[in-house]
Structures are given as C-alpha cells and as structure tokens.
Structure 1
C-alpha cells in the first residue's frame, strides 16, 4: 500500500475543498452528493448523531446557514488509492470557538470519492491549551 500518493492526495484535497465551499454557501445538494448515499454512512455533528444518508440529508435540509469558519490546519492522509482521512482544525469567525472535523473518504466504484464517516466537534473552552506534534 502506498501512503500519501500525490495523485490521490490531490483528488482528496479537491473533494475536501469542494465540501468546504459548499458548506460555507449551504449548498445542500452538493453536500449530500459528497456523502456516500448508503445507510451505513455516519455523521456525528456538534449536536446531532446521524446514521445513514437519509438522516444526514434530512439534517442538511433543516439547516438554514452554517457558522462561517476559517481553516487553521488541514491534515490529509491517503491509505492506498481508495481510502483517505481528512482532519480540519478551524475557528468559527467572530466567536473564537475552535472546532475539529474528521472525515473518512473512500473511492466508491462508479461514484468517485465519497465521505463515508464524519465527526465534528467544538472545544468547550475555545483555543486548545496545548497542541501536540508538529508546531503550527
């Protein structure tokens, strides 16, 4: 298995960027299309637990706007040609709240890259007191 193949990384980054743009503009049809249309898809959000694409789609339909955010750090790791994990540390504009978002993406035959699992959370106290690993 090749880790972080540059071509795969570029493909995943393109989907990541497309998702971010759609989220900030609340383009629900595009957000829905990026998620795997399957009952096994999971999304754990700030205040919701969603099992299955239908539940995710229903949640998206109920949202009128998403809190705007700036990206603080993005990490992507590709595992072979068909699986990747994306990690985003972000800050909600005007609030100082720091959030984290992890997406597991898989290349689905005949569909391309899709999010199969996502987890979003906010730090209760805002900025993390300590960041382990490489300096930002």
Structure 2
C-alpha cells in the first residue's frame, strides 16, 4: 500500500491533470489519433462504454475509428483525480450532454505511467437517469 505521503504528490497530480485535459479535448474534438495514443496499446487494456464492452486496444481502436463525430460535446462536473505514488492515478468525473437532458454520465479511468508517458489501461463509461 502506498503511504499517505505518496497520495496526490503535487507534481504527479499536475501531470495527470494535463493528460486528462488532453483526453477530454481529444474526445469532444474527435481527435482519434490522440485518443488512441492515450490508451495503452495492449490486449489487456479495456473500455466499458455505454453500449459496448471493448477488450484490447484493437477493439478500442475500431470503436473510436467508427464512431460518429457529432454530439460529443459535454460538460464535466465533480472531476476527481487521485494519484498513488508516481506511476498510478485514478480519474473519475460526471458529465452532462445537452442532447441527453435528465441524464448524467459517469466516467472512470485508471492511468499508469509507462516509459512513453501516462496511458489509460482501464476505462468505464455509463449513463444513468438523474435522480
């Protein structure tokens, strides 16, 4: 277990906040190349989406390349990024889309620092009725 002093090391948290913001900009801008670069290219990487379960980067890549580029705009709320040590982070956020009133989306990502930078190794997206 990581000692409490290793949670949210300021410079590490700042790094993850930067890549998280880069991911968000790429997502709403449908910058597929950047989205792909921010996921670890590995058959163990997974993404559970609202309507799909994607196992491995090949499936994630096919989904991203086939997705319609319209209606991706969203507003984030209650984003929480927590780092554990220097190489692991968890990002969670809520999101809303004007196209889906009375719905709230939830997104979680596990980020790992690899030799070539921070990468998502696991992601989960779901949408629920706002209560």
Of residues 115, 120, 127, the one that matches 2:125 is 120
Q: How does 1:1-136 map to 2 (within 5 A)?
A: 1=2, 2-65=6-69, 66-96=71-101, 97-108=103-114, 110-123=115-128, 125=129, 127=130, 129=131
Would you identify which runs of 4 or more consecutive aligned residues in structure 1 move more than 6 Å? none
Q: TM-score, normalised by structure 2?
A: 0.92
Q: Say if 1:67 and 1:93, in contact at 8 Å, map to a contact too.
A: no
CA distance in 2, matches of 1:107, 1:62: 28
Deviation at 1:14, TM superposition (A): 0.4
* TM, length-normalised to structure 1: 0.88
Cα offsets for 1:4-54 (capped at 9, x unmatched): 001010000001000000000101011000000011100000000000011
Aligned-partner SS, 1:105: strand
CA displacement, residues 66-87 of structure 1 (integer Å, 9 cap, x when unaligned): 5311011100110000000000
**Unmatched tracts of structure 2, length 5 or more:** none
What SS does the corresponding residue of 2:83 show, helix, strand or coil? strand
For residue 111 of structure 1, report the CA deviation from its aligned partner: 1.0
Rounded to whole Å, the distance in 2 between the matches of 1:93 and 1:101 is 17
Instruction: Say whether the 8 Å CA contact 2:29–2:72 is kept in structure 1.
Output: no
When the two structures are aligned, how many residues end up with a matched partner? 125
